[in-house]
DNA sequence: CTTGACCTTCCACCGCAGGGGAGGCTTTAC
DNA sequence: GTAAAGCCTCCCCTGCGGTGGAAGGTCAAG
């Protein structure tokens, strides 16, 4: 199977597959005499795993690590379970942060309705966003 | 006021302030004969606005736009209110996405407890993450 | 006069997951 | 035989919000 066919089967582009190879989540395949990559069925299984793991929120670095753990010490199930635990906890944290940010934004928005634009302070950019906001959390990065 | 003092007062680094200048959220200040930047109090007010707006989830590009709107057509309150509306809606969407992802991850995690690692399929990387996951959403980008 | 703190510009880099395109082979179809 | 796909490697680009460092100018104290 050449790279284009594999890409079509996996629902990816050839570019992405080469990128996965350099990213270490897909092993280097055999080469045909022409130099073309020559894949077998296990590459497709691997790509399906990568997609499923990505859908579960794992980064390529984590996926690479899972694969390495498996290659070194057998089934990485416990490792994967730990990763999933960590991700669930991260997601909980991020959801809570975003919910708090949403509430702040909503509060500002509601306050804006009760403000008179003509009374906008000349020294500030816009009084809808109070520069001395006491509730100003450190910029809520949304990574 | 030189850049270091302004940075200390604003709780930023001098690097960041220069970056804000190139990003267009802070106007170019006067220069001392030495070439050093020479700030007045309005720079500090501006930086406070930028921090507050960032805390409200606005990007530097949006902040720059708010400032431009203000400079062109006066108080940008309505524009800012619209931005806040959009951001609140975006946050709602993203919170829902993350919650769905969190549930998926939790489901996988729970399922992992009931699996026997010794039965890990040799063809897959790890059966905790099913490669034929039917619930696999398109990779839930977390932008 | 020299040391050290502060400032200047410019260029490069981080993570993350790829995308774009150049320049050059090989394979396939007509 | 020739044109069109398809593939190869290589390097640069994206967005976002900065951070790091090099090479050099400036200012105050000792």
What pLDDT score was predicted for residue A82? 87
Q: Do B55 and A137 touch (CB under 8 A)?
A: yes
Average pLDDT over residues B9-14: 96
**Higher-confidence position of A140 and B62:** B62
Chain B residues inside the 8 Å CB shell of A53: 129
What integer pLDDT is reported at residue A125 of this predicted model?
Answer: 74
Mean pLDDT of B96-102: 91
**B61-70 residue pLDDT tens:** 999 988 988 8
pLDDT, tens digit, 9 for 90 and up, residues A7-39 = 999 999 999 999 999 999 999 999 999 999 999
Q: Is the pLDDT of residue A140 over 90?
A: no
* CA of B25: nucleotide with nearest C1': D17
pLDDT single digits (tens) A48-73: 999 999 999 899 999 998 998 888 87
- Mean of pLDDT values over B17-32: 96
Largest distance between two CA atoms of chain A: 76
* Residue nearest D20 (alpha carbon to C1'): B15
d(CA A19, CA A128): 45
Q: Which residues contact A2 (CB under 8 A, 6 or more apart)?
A: A32, A36, A37, A38, A39
B37/chain A closest Cα distance in angstroms:
21
pLDDT range class, residue B82, cuts 50, 70, 90: confident
| pLDDT at site A131 | 72
When CB atoms are compared, the residue of A56, A67, A138 closest to B108 is A56
Q: Is the pLDDT of residue A40 over 70?
A: yes
Determine which of B128, B135, B137, B141 to mutate to test the interface with A (most A C-beta atoms within 10 Å).
B128
pLDDT, mean over chain A: 86
Average pLDDT of the residues in B87-107: 91
Contact call for A92 and B102, based on CB within 8 A: yes
- Tell me: the pLDDT tens digits for A119-128? 666 667 777 7
């Amino acid at each position: 199977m050449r790279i284009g066919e594999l890409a079509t089967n996996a629902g990816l582009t050839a570019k992405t597959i080469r990128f996965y190879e350099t990213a270490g989540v897909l092993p280097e395949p055999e080469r045909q005499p022409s130099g073309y990559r020559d894949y077998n069925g296990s590459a497709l299984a691997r790509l399906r795993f990568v997609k499923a793991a990505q859908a579960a929120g794992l980064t390529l670095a984590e996926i690479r690590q899972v694969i390495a753990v498996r290659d070194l010490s057998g089934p990485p199930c416990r490792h994967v379970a730990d990763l999933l635990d960590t991700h669930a906890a991260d997601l909980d944290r991020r959801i809570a942060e975003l919910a708090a940010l949403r509430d702040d934004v909503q509060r500002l928005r509601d306050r804006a309705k009760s403000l008179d634009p003509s009374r906008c302070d000349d020294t500030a950019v816009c009084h809808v966003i109070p520069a001395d906001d006491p509730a100003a959390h450190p910029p809520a990065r949304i990574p």
